[in-house]
Amino acid sequence: MSGHNQETINAALQLIDARSKRIEEINRNWADYANQTTLATNEGEETLQDAYFAERKEEEVSIEGNSDPVIHRVGETSQHSTLAGIAGSYTENPVSYLDIATENGIEDPYIIHPGQRLVIPNQVPTEIVVNYMPVKSVTLGSDTYIVVKGFALQGKEATIQVFEKNPFLLMEAEDTPLTFLEYRSLDPEGDDLINENQTEFKAEFNDKGEAIVKIQLRPKKEDPDTVYLEWQEKFIPEDPLEDFRIEPNADQNDLSSGDTSDFILDPETENERNRIAMERVNGTYTSENVDGANVLNFSPNPPAQIIDPLWLLVKVVGDNATYERRFPEERGEHFRLEVNNHVPWMEFAWQEEQMGVSAWANGNNPRISEYFGASTNGQNWNDNTNWCGAYVSWCIVQAGFSPPPLSARAAFWQFLKQLDTPIYGAIAVRDNGANDPISIDGSQIGGAGHVTFIVGVSSDGNYYFCLGGNQGGASGERNVQVSRYRTTAIDWFVVPHSYNPSPEEYELPVYENVNDFEELTDENTRNKG
């Protein structure tokens, strides 16, 4: 009897083990099964699962079981033009330069050449895997991806529209989808933007069960770009209304308890914009007795920003049915559309770079004259004068900040709030003090130099990449452009006194193609501002 029981147990264990291995196999190859089978029926079962805004993430992963050799192409830069430098770049599975030389039949003095292909021994081949990770908030004007997840829908087309939650902030008509721009491909570096207003986007489900579109969160780029500017302005909170005085109802909490949650402002007494803003702000509550009645006084704090809740409407015509769902609104949730409050002056700095602002030969570029008009000196100067400080002044003034005195001169920017390490958008100051020195109250502080914005760092940490005006260096041109500067050559990193950087702003973007950018040196920046 016991033997029979043991056989039954063994059979059950084998069945469980087989099912477990089957489930593991399906999980490992989900992409192959996503549009072919379900665990329950082993037959196709169409499902529209989810939709969300996403950011693109690339990850280098090992290809286990792949016996192909790892090939390294010798680079142009000094770091990767020697065997020692190449060997040092392989840290996960360290390899010596002698091993590389032996593998490739290179003999002393181990001379290699740019473009040469080398086999790197003892390395596991890798590949780049792309994933689209969900995000809860998106920024007006930025690029983003929309991902729709489906099951057994490979080759079917998803139609996607973006709506605002009521009350509407950008669109005035009810049930009107938002207008955005679309890219022709998912290439993260692609510039194939379709400059036509799109109210719906279409994408085909791939073999991973994903339908993906890349869009830019803004309406058509026009000249003048009135619609986009109007949208931006709607995200700028208006000043809060004057103090409210509200007489509590009998069932409301007494102020002495400290609980003011029941005191709700009457929406009829304020406009729609302020009502949206007031939902997100705190304020100061006080109580007083007016003619025998307990009256609540509320002084609202200015809101930091306005956020527009969004949801996605997705439609798919499948083999078995037509599917239509609202994500994530059907779960009582929404995405957030907001303006980028981080380093707000950089929006204006990049705007000028995209416009291609440069000095004119006759010195009369009216845009550069506007820069000087925003600075605290040099209002009558033009682009025959070094204008890097004027450009920085103009950018931060557009963002609502004040420049330092004599802001058209580079050295005076040191008097803003100094940072120990740079953030994205920090104002980098180079003081060529010995050249054209300036004295204040008997103290020599320098004068000529350069001032620009930090926008990135090289992967080896040797260069900062700087977006600035009057940059051009050896080329002889003087433009608004990105150039590189030795990290050791910057004297100060500053921001306006009222600006408090957030932790994520200290994560500088990494620029890989160093040689694509002109290097600014002591000589070609000496009289830049």
DSSP per residue over 231-260, as a string? HHHHTSPPPPPSPEEEPPPTTSPPGGGT--
Q: Give the residue with greater pLDDT, 512 vs 132.
A: 132
Q: For residue 80, what pLDDT is reported? A: 54
CB 389 within 8 A of CB 447: no
- Which H or E element spans position 289? strand 283-290
Q: Quick one: DSSP state of residue 356?
A: T
Residue 12 pLDDT class (50, 70, 90 cuts):
low
- Strongest mean pLDDT among 68-82, 146-160, 337-351, 511-525: 146-160
Average pLDDT for residues 481-507, to the nearest whole number?
A: 84
- Strongest mean pLDDT among 253-257, 295-299, 362-366: 362-366
Lowest mean pLDDT among 52-56, 88-92, 304-308, 408-412: 304-308
Q: For residue 18, what pLDDT is reported? A: 60
Phi, psi of 16 (to 5 degrees): -65, -45
| Per-residue tokens: 304 | 């930091």
Average pLDDT for residues 204-226, to the nearest whole number?
A: 90
Q: For residue 283, what pLDDT is reported? A: 57
Phi, psi of 30 (to 5 degrees): -60, -35
Residue 9 pLDDT class (50, 70, 90 cuts):
low
**Residues 174-199: tens digit of each pLDDT:** 889 999 999 999 987 677 889 999 99
Q: Give the residue with greater pLDDT, 21 vs 302.
A: 21
Lowest mean pLDDT among 95-109, 110-124, 353-367, 469-483: 469-483
How many other C-beta atoms lie within 10 A of the C-beta of residue 437? Answer: 14
Backbone conformation region of residue 267, classed left if phi is above 0, alpha if psi is from -120 to 50, else beta = alpha
How many angstroms separate the CA atoms of 95 and 83, rounded? 10
Q: For residue 444, what pLDDT is reported? A: 46
Residue 381 pLDDT class (50, 70, 90 cuts):
confident
With 50 as the cut, is the pLDDT of residue 21 above it?
yes
Phi, psi of 497 (to 5 degrees): -60, -35
Residue 76 pLDDT class (50, 70, 90 cuts):
low
Q: Which residues contact 189 (CB under 8 A, 6 or more apart)?
A: none
Residue 440 pLDDT class (50, 70, 90 cuts):
very low
CB 216 within 8 A of CB 287: no
Average of per-residue pLDDT values in the chain: 77
- State whether the Cα torsion 25-26-31-32 is positive or negative: positive
With 60 as the cut, is the pLDDT of residue 426 above it?
yes
How many angstroms separate the CA atoms of 324 and 175, rounded? 15
Backbone conformation region of residue 105, classed left if phi is above 0, alpha if psi is from -120 to 50, else beta = left
How many other C-beta atoms lie within 10 A of the C-beta of residue 253? Answer: 13
Residue 251 pLDDT class (50, 70, 90 cuts):
very low
What spatial distance separates the first Cα and last Cα of the chain, rounded to whole Å? 97
**Residues 358-370: tens digit of each pLDDT:** 888 777 888 998 8
With 50 as the cut, is the pLDDT of residue 41 above it?
no
